[in-house]
Structure 1
Amino acid sequence: MCDLPTYVLASVVLFSAAFTVSLQSFIGSELWHSVKECYADLESSDQYLFSGLNQPSTSTFGYSRQLPCRGYVSTFFNSIETQKLSLLIHINMAVCCFVLLGKAVISIFFGTLLPLESQHLYDRMLNFLLFKVIFVGAIMDPIWIQIVRLSIWIAVLGFLRIFSLLSKDRFDHLTTMPYIPTAEYNKITLLLCCIFICNLIWYGASFYFFPDSITFLTLEFLPVALDTLQVMTKYFSQLLDQYIEQGFEGKRTINYYAELGTDMLVLGLTLLQYLQLMWMHGMSFGLVDIVLILNVRSVLRNLYRKGMVHRDRWRAMSYVKNRYANATQAELSFRNDDCAICREKMKTAKKLSCGHLFHLHCLHSWIQHHVSKPTCPTCRRPLSPPLNNNSKESNFGSPIIQS
């Protein structure tokens, strides 16, 4: 409940004290002398080789010449892991560094956050702590060091994902503004490229640090990479739309299918991850198993709902594309009007039965948010043919014959 400067100052003081005490304890411990004598023994072996004598098979302490000694730094951190209080202080310092880094990223690339963006940021951080670090710690084997290391790895990945989704929120805001300089899109596009590269590097490090948990970590990495690629696609299409003189009319269609494909893949990967956690934990019908089963049910419902929404949207768009003709150049020149949805000049347009003209990709976006009952964006006339006495036709053009 304190402000950021106070938290940073307290974290630095505690870290300095814990690091100093741990270092002094390590220098006077048997681990320090073992590593020191091991390196001395290896130097002695090198002298044997240089003088042409036979190399000893093993050293005094049992270290093989083919297996070099562990370094001082890695041994020091291993000794810290055995001291829970010191380890918690070091982890708190790492969290403090991430907070400062996050503040710097927000200041450089986003400026002042909108109230909705701030709320989403804190909600995602809370959800991450509850459903990732704590939940994984409850499912994994109760090995303190393994849980700490995996939690740190997942925390870094979650840090990257939070800023990837924050970039998505900022894109949704920028698209509602009448004019945004290209530099704003360039900055966040650069940030997304850095996030994606860091994702790849961090995932590559998992092959070295956690070779036994690579399947679990792959299911953690792929959703973050897919979300980042999806947001990058939106920003690249927006930049392409600004660079092309007549605009990039396929922008909204590409964004829609990129978002739909990413959401479906992420839900599928999440389902696989829950099933893997159920297999790792075993079915004992405890509290953890109940939570996993409920999450699996929620993922399946979301997959079904997204599939049905896309089906209805596809039917609606197929009907609009086939039912209504394209506006002629004479009609576009005569009206000399902007699209009522995007407020941009119309080079090509669809002419609805009510006479209003719209971009086809704008109708894509409109129907996406009004898929249950698509209407004209201007006069709210239903995008369906009139009913007669002999037959009825649904909103999406499927005839229903009356008996």
Structure 2
Amino acid sequence: MVRLPTYAGCSLTLTIAVIYHAFSSRKQFYPAMVYLSTSKISLVLLLNMGLVVMCVLWQMIKRLFLGTLREAEVERLNEQSRREIMEILFAITIFRQDFSVSFLAMVTTLLLIKALHWLAQKRVEYIETTPTVPMLSHVRIVSFMGFLLLLDSLFLYSSVKFLIQTRQASVSLFFSFEYMILATTTVSIFVKYIFYVSDMLMEGQWERKAVYTFYLELIRDLLHLSMYLCFFLVIFMNYGVPLHLIRELYETFRNFRIRVADYVRYRKITSNMNDRFPDATPEELNASDSTCIICREEMTTAKKLICGHLFHVHCLRSWLERQHTCPTCRALVVPPEGGASTAGGQHGPRPDAHQSGNQSQYYMSSDPI
């Protein structure tokens, strides 16, 4: 497989050659520029060089803010890229009357910026689950998120400004919507990172972190769902059915519905925790492991689930924000009506014994951008 430096060197050589040929054969600036903009071979080579420049800039930004990518980040990048390319191809069919060289350049730029957002989200998730993070990593990720928010804001402003000036539907609708989604996602990632830093400064004792994280994700999904619906209606009224939005609209609605169901279930379970979950007796604490598997701290008082496992009351409350199964055996905390407790999986990993006491690591969101 050809590496980027080799490909960039070959592309640069061919670009210099075609420019030299244009100026040597036409002798003057204007005829040379006309030749470069009308010759198909020259235009392809120049467009290829523009793509190489964007890829080189993308690699420089990635290396500056993130350094070497981890295997999970590369995997996320490959999976999201394949899916996003298909959606962009669908979008091009809708805006085919606006297809041009500038449109192609803007679509490529959007795809590269989206890739940076995927990496930022994955890196924040990694930082949240790492016991010790160097100060340089914190500086780089904060700078990276600030840089991404600046990019989102600039491109959003440019797209909205063009829409206001033209006062008619155009491909700028597509870019305005995309950068609005990216901007809100960047803010969500940054606020989630602030929650992590605050919990770290409190030495993992911020009990309300899981609650605020849950509400943050709920608000983010509500905003995205509202924007998807508005954009779907606008595109439908002006261009027809936006096929590339159907899957995103469905996934956003599904995620929002799951979060609302989680919240309703949480309120129902925790409304009478004292009656639903009895206090563990001293004999039960002595007979079992007195370490709370959620926070990894010793328990002097605990709540007992119907499966018999014991946990701190505040740890259990935080756990129930996102799960309704036992952290140890995965049995349902509240069995279904007319049935016994059954083991069941729910979105979210099972805590392992080697993990640190930061319970926020169990609430990582894996929603695609």
TM-score, normalised to structure 1, is 0.66
RMSD of aligned Cα (Å): 4.0
Which of 303, 307, 310 lines up with 1:356 in the alignment?
A: 310
More relative contact order, 1 or 2 (CA 8 Å, 6+ apart): 2
- 2:78 paired with 1:106: no
Question: For the residues of structure 2 that align with 1:96 and 1:306, how far apart are their CA atoms?
Answer: 37
- 2:85 paired with 1:135: no
CA gap 1:187/1:19 in 2 versus in 1, 3 angstroms: same
After superposition, where does 1:247-326 map in structure 2 within 5 Å?
A: 247-282=205-240, 292-293=242-243, 295=244, 297-325=246-274
153-162 vs 81-90, which moves further: 81-90
185-194 vs 272-281, which moves further: 272-281
The answer to whether the 8 A contact 2:188-2:217 is kept is yes
The answer to whether the 8 A contact 2:159-2:175 is kept is yes
The answer to whether the 8 A contact 2:14-2:45 is kept is yes
- 2:325 paired with 1:375: yes
Secondary structure at 1:224's aligned position in 2? helix
After superposition, where does 1:13-24 map in structure 2 within 5 Å?
A: 13-22=13-22
- 2:29 paired with 1:7: no
Secondary structure at 2:100's aligned position in 1? helix
Task: Kindly provide the CA deviation profile for residues 121-142 of structure 1, in whole angstroms up to 9, marking residues without a partner as x.
Answer: 123333333322x333322244
Task: Kindly provide the CA deviation profile for residues 269-294 of structure 1, in whole angstroms up to 9, marking residues without a partner as x.
Answer: 33443444444434xxxxxx5xx45x
Which of 145, 168, 175 lines up with 1:217 in the alignment?
A: 175
TM-score, normalised to structure 2, is 0.72
Question: For the residues of structure 2 that align with 1:17 and 1:191, how far apart are their CA atoms?
Answer: 37
The answer to whether the 8 A contact 2:160-2:176 is kept is no
**Number of matched pairs:** 328
The answer to whether the 8 A contact 1:356-1:378 is kept is no
The answer to whether the 8 A contact 1:22-1:80 is kept is yes
- 2:117 paired with 1:164: yes
Q: Which residue of 1 aligns with 2:187?
A: 229
Sequence identity percentage: 22
Q: Which residue of 1 aligns with 2:145?
A: 192
Question: For the residues of structure 2 that align with 1:248 and 1:392, how far apart are their CA atoms?
Answer: 36
Secondary structure at 1:229's aligned position in 2? helix
Secondary structure at 1:180's aligned position in 2? coil
The letter of the residue matching 1:185 is: H
The answer to whether the 8 A contact 1:327-1:348 is kept is no
The answer to whether the 8 A contact 1:14-1:89 is kept is yes
Of structures 1 and 2, the larger Rg is shown by 1
The letter of the residue matching 2:142 is: T
Gaps of 5+ in 1: 33-75, 283-288, 396-403
Secondary structure at 2:271's aligned position in 1? helix
Q: Which residue of 1 aligns with 2:357?
A: none
Question: For the residues of structure 2 that align with 1:113 and 1:126, how far apart are their CA atoms?
Answer: 18
Shift of 1:200: 1.3
315-324 vs 162-171, which moves further: 315-324
The answer to whether the 8 A contact 1:168-1:231 is kept is yes
CA gap 1:118/1:159 in 2 versus in 1, 3 angstroms: same
The answer to whether the 8 A contact 2:77-2:119 is kept is yes
The letter of the residue matching 1:314 is: Y
After superposition, where does 1:390-401 map in structure 2 within 5 Å?
A: none
Secondary structure at 2:158's aligned position in 1? helix
CA gap 1:386/1:188 in 2 versus in 1, 3 angstroms: closer
Q: Which residue of 1 aligns with 2:158?
A: 205
Secondary structure at 1:154's aligned position in 2? helix
Shift of 1:383: 1.9
Shift of 1:120: 1.7
The answer to whether the 8 A contact 2:294-2:311 is kept is no
The answer to whether the 8 A contact 1:250-1:361 is kept is no
Gaps of 5+ in 2: 343-369
The letter of the residue matching 2:251 is: N
